[in-house]
Structure 1
Amino acid sequence: MSVLPDARPGVESPLARSRRVAFVTPVVLLVVFGLVLGGQILLLVEDGQAVMRSQRVLGAAHQTLLQVTDQEVGARSYLLARDARFLASFDRATPRASFDQLRQLTADDPGQQGRLDGVRERYERWLAAVSPALQPGAVASADAIARDLGRMDGVREGMREAIEREDALLRERAASLAASTTRTGGLFVGLLVGSAALLAWLSRRQLSALAVVFEAALESERRAREVAALEEWIR
């Protein structure tokens, strides 16, 4: 009967230890691999979402500027020509809804929200000033018309500043996304190569340990046979 070395009660044999290491090591590597790579992927997703938010903000900002411009053109044309047909574009435009959408989209950027709130205040002052002159039968002097229409310059300038700020933020976020993509790819390859190298080293070490164990077992078997043969000869 073969006898493995260190096969004593309460003492883990080298073979059992090798089996345990061979089982535990891949599991630990898989957990570490998943945690590290998962964390990097979460960062990548966050960067991607930030880029999409900036793109939506830019789209909404351009739409808001278009709506405001439509109202301005309609009001200006009506006040100059007194033709009610020009009020159609003024009535169709919905800058307030666009401003509301922008405020929701910039919830993560208080600075941009404050900038857009200031633009909306200027727009509301312009609308309050120009609306009475657009009523049927209303009469406004040329100076009053010029003054009221001039208020829109601040609105357009504020919207352009907000768009420029968001465009710069988009470039920053796009650069961060590109860097995260590169890091994620490099991390994946690095973890894969590192894990493979570590597993190969551990496998070689375990095979060497197993070879020693089996050599010791064979030696124990040989000695046991010699002892048995000697006892048989003595009897």
Structure 2
Amino acid sequence: MRPNEVVLGSLLGACKVHRMHELGERLVRDLVLMYPYNTEHHVLLSNMYALSGKIDKADSLRRDLRDKGIRKVPGISTMYINGKIHQFSAGEKSHPRINEIYLMLDVMIRELKLAGYVPDTTSQIISGGGSGGGDDDTNEQEEKERALLSHSEKLAVCFGLISTKAGTPLYIFKNLRICQDCHSALKIASKIYSREIVIRDRNRFHSFKNGLCSCSDYW
């Protein structure tokens, strides 16, 4: 029986957890061949290259997608609060409470870092990025971190924190797979703020509670 997208996706999750990058690359290449127009698989392959330290390959793959006119589906996180639907994209600017949300984001990131969170920029690729050494490397790292910290899930959680009573569970729907960094950050956030944070991403439910996730870090 030929493995399908679900089976390969589960194996890929195990590869990420155990850092079996070579096998992970092979699995994602199979997914790309099986589903050539699913941009999420191309992004996964790019991320696996980055995790393996193959930044040139990651950049090359993303340039190839741009040249072919294949665009990544933008990640959108959706919440239903106080009778209204609220949607967030990475780097969101249009929400009516966006200034409050970013103030809360600054507070949350500081508290996460005090609790041991380290932004995982390994798979964050900046367009046109290159290593010129020195200040160039520092600036690129800072740019990667800024992009990472404004992912839609983090913004949605911050909106939930300023819009609901303490202890209220937060429910978020994400159209794509949650990234490694957001997964790590929200585990810590659930403990710091004593909140259950439930995210339904493209693959499964993630229930973050007391610093743990219901998926046991396999997704």
Classify the TM-score, shorter chain.
Answer: under 0.3
| Higher normalized helix content (fraction of residues) | 1
Larger Rg over CA atoms: 1
Alignment TM-score, normalising by the size of structure 1: 0.23
| Higher normalized strand content (fraction of residues) | 2
